């Protein structure tokens, strides 16, 4: 049997275990479903929605996300950035790293995965 790298195993498990976590579906759903109502949400409602739908998925299967490709990490980071913009009202073209670090106290996705693995 051919051996698989961590990233390849994560992609296989993603398709088999978490079919709803595909990049093209997840980001399109986030942008289409939440963007139109973002202005009418209170800050608490926005935080609840983001934690229910976005943060939960970013933390799901962290052990499988270890070793995935940089392009997939960039995609996951863009989802986290969009979620941060929704919560804080930051514009899309503003620098988001200070908002993630200083306002929301969130780690970047790759560091988040490493941190969750270190806790195991």
Mean pLDDT of the region 96-119: 92
Is there a domain that residue 1 lies in?
Answer: no
Is there a domain that residue 81 lies in?
Answer: yes
Q: What residues contact 112, with CB distance under 8 A and at least 6 apart?
A: 58, 59, 62, 106
Distance between CA atoms of 49 and 35, rounded to whole angstroms? Answer: 12
List, for residues 31-45, the tens digit of each pLDDT value: 556 666 777 778 888
- Cβ atoms within 10 Å of 24's Cβ, excluding its own: 8
Distance between CA atoms of 76 and 1, rounded to whole angstroms? Answer: 31
Q: What is the pLDDT of residue 11?
A: 43
Residue 96 class from Cβ within 10 Å (0-12 exposed, 13-18 middle, 19+ buried)? buried
List, for residues 87-99, the tens digit of each pLDDT value: 888 887 899 999 9
Q: Greater confidence, 85 or 29?
A: 85
| Cβ–Cβ < 8 Å for 78, 63 | no
CA atoms within 13 A on the CB side of 12: 7
Total count of domains within the chain = 1
Does the pTM of the predicted model rise above 0.85? no
Is there a domain that residue 87 lies in?
Answer: yes
DSSP letters of 52-94?
A: IIIIHHHHTTHHHHTT--HHHHHHHHHHHHHHHHHHH---TTS
List, for residues 24-73, the tens digit of each pLDDT value: 445 445 555 666 677 777 888 888 888 887 778 778 777 788 888 898 88
Q: Greater confidence, 112 or 17?
A: 112
Residue 25: which domain range? 6-119
Is there a domain that residue 18 lies in?
Answer: yes
Q: What is the pLDDT of residue 108?
A: 93
């Amino acid at each position: 049997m051919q051996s698989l790298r961590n990233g390849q195993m994560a992609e296989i498990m993603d398709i088999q275990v978490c079919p709803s976590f595909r990049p093209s579906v997840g980001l399109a759903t986030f942008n289409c479903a939440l963007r139109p109502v973002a202005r009418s949400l209170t800050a608490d409602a926005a935080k609840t929605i983001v934690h229910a739908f976005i943060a939960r998925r970013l933390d799901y299967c962290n052990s499988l996300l270890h070793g995935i490709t940089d392009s997939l990490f960039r995609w996951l980071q863009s989802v986290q950035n969009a979620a941060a913009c929704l919560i804080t009202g930051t514009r899309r073209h503003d620098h988001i790293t200070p908002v993630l670090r200083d306002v929301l106290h969130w780690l970047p996705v790759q560091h988040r995965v490493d941190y969750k693995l270190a806790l195991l």
